[in-house]
Amino acid sequence: MKLDRIIAVRNDKTVYRDGEFCVKVFDSSHTKSDILSEALYQTMAREAGLNVPDVKRITEIDGRLSIISDYIKGQTLDSLIRDNPQRRKEYLRIFTNTQLELQSKRCPLPGRMHDIIGQAIMRTDFNATLRYDLGVRLSALPKLQKLCHGDFIPENLILDESGNVYILDWSRASLGNPAADAAISYLLMRYSGDRESADLYLDLYTQDSGIDIGRIRAWIPLAAAARTAVARRTEREFLRPWVLGSESI
């Protein structure tokens, strides 16, 4: 296997191109079950009718587990927005429409967003009173069974040369409430530093989905708290005011 070039680098994984294939190489912080689950979710999303790179196999490279899937030639929506800020609304409309299409698909994923968020909140270092309060608020919100991505940001969407949009990185996918998925997207976009895109996305999403902004607002502290369980220090510092309510939408 010839890894031609690095496509992306994260703290816990590196993504390479190998000719017609994309090779995602994980570090030791990922369990085998984590990697198998990601490959399964990606495959199930593709079978549900979404544009998702086809998983070819899971293998080991230099002792590190890796997912090999089709390489999609194109640009991420994130890079397109940065390179063409005058077309921001056009690209965010594509982004929002793709998320709504995703949330409309039937896909029998095993994970339930309510449970995932609740368990993550219990793992945080917030005091017991706050964790209890967040748990009460979570239990009061509707338990829906819609397909949610859990990491839906412009960086994870590729627009190919034919104008097709492909959705990447399915490790956090689950069945849950679309308003929660939108809250996660908003927080991650704000953390990236692009507030203009985040605010415009929220406007477009609420208009096109018919979901009231208040329903998304209710999920913000819960999504932020859950994210702190897996976030690094700088992201935890960003998220804390959203958990405590000193930041909101």
Which of 4-13, 22-31, 133-142, 185-194 has the weakest average pLDDT? 4-13
Whose tokens are 């929660």? That residue is 180
* pLDDT tens readout for residues 139-179: 999 999 999 999 999 999 999 999 999 999 999 999 999 99
Reduce the DSSP state of residue 234 to 3 states and report it.
helix
Whose tokens are 């017609």? That residue is 20
Tell me how far apart the alpha carbons of residues 51 and 48 are, in angstroms, rounded to a whole number.
9
Mean of all residue pLDDT scores within the chain = 97
> How far is residue 43 from each of residues 13, 80, 131, 157, measured CA to CA in Å?
20, 26, 35, 16
Structure tokens that stand for 165 in this block: 């949009």
Region for residue 19 given its phi and psi (left: phi exceeds 0; alpha: psi -120 to 50; beta: otherwise):
left
Residue 30 is classified by DSSP as: S
Q: Percent of the chain at pLDDT above 70?
A: 99
Residue 154 is classified by DSSP as: G
* pLDDT tens readout for residues 89-144: 999 999 999 999 999 999 999 999 999 999 999 999 999 999 999 999 999 999 99
> How far is residue 7 from each of residues 13, 86, 144, 191, measured CA to CA in Å?
11, 26, 35, 22
Domains and CATH numbers, the chain: 5-70 (3.30.200.20), 74-244 (3.90.1200.10)
Nearest residue to 57 via CA among 22, 26, 5, 82? 22
> CB neighbours (10 Å) of residue 106?
10
Tell me how far apart the alpha carbons of residues 247 and 153 are, in angstroms, rounded to a whole number.
20
Report which residue type is found at 165.
V
* pLDDT tens readout for residues 57-95: 999 998 999 999 999 999 999 999 999 999 999 999 999
Report which residue type is found at 230.
V
